[in-house]
Amino acid sequence: MKNVIKYAVCLVFMLSVADAWAWGKRGHEVISILATERLTPQTKRAVEKILGGDMRSNSNWLDGLRTQEATAYTNHWHNTQIDKEGRSSTQSEKDGIVQLERNIEILRHRADHSDSLVVAALRTVIHLVGDLHCVACISFEDIPYSDNFTFYRSDGKSMKKEKCQKMTWDKLWSKWYFDIHGIFSSEMFAREIRMCQGDKFEEYMHGTPRTWVEEMGREARPLIEYIKPDQVLDNATSYNWELIHERCLAKASVRLAVVLNDIFK
């Protein structure tokens, strides 16, 4: 009971913070824009009533907690670990999938909780469904460096490290693919994903949060095994991976709508 109370107090304390991280502000906005389009009218009304606004403007709230001393422990929530067998079996309080499941349950039983805790839980669910579909947020029990590492990205002119861009795994997936389309607004990104991935949206609806992160594990493992720490990633591969980046954003948006429609049905 003490742990439940402590958890509630901590979440209530978080309510005034906002910033950008993980997928980045633009990534979470794109996910929210596309997810909102797939909400039922009933769900959309419920979500906006709880938030006092739309999903987009609340989608990056959880990132701001990382820089606050009292809530720095939430830094771990944005990531999830896949075990040696390729399963999501963790029950660690620090793992993102555990926190996602916990906050989904708070929303399912929202009548038993304070309004402020329900707001915090909804903001957390909106953010974590997104993060757990980011390649950089998936780590592997048997790959020690998989939580983040430094490598070099070639621009196509040279494969020598000293002439390549130094980059982290997190920066590639959370920032670089957005930066190369710097003139794109969040709405433009959403439109692009809708055009390129829209015919697959229905395929992405099936499963549970656990099976989704296991799927992300299968997506991320060959990429991490392809480029190891301190190696050079060739230019063609980094651009080819943009298709994976778009697919993951599309899956996150569809599945966020699935989760919320189920909660508020």
> What does CATH list as the number for 1-265?
1.10.575.10
Q: What is the pLDDT of residues 197-222, one digit of tens each?
A: 999 999 999 999 999 999 999 999 99
Q: What is the pLDDT of residues 93-128, one digit of tens each?
A: 999 999 999 999 999 999 999 999 999 999 999 999
Residue 12 pLDDT > 70, yes or no? no
Q: What is the pLDDT of residues 23-34, one digit of tens each?
A: 889 999 999 999
* Residue 128, token pair as written in the block: 């974590």
Domain extents for the chain? 1-265
Q: What is the pLDDT of residues 122-178, one digit of tens each?
A: 999 999 999 999 999 999 999 999 999 999 999 999 999 999 999 999 999 999 999
For 101, 117, 152, 193, the CA distances from 128, given in Å and listed in that order, are: 10, 16, 28, 20
| CA-derived radius of gyration, the chain | 18
The helix or strand, by DSSP H or E, that contains position 194, with its residue range, turns out to be: helix 186-197
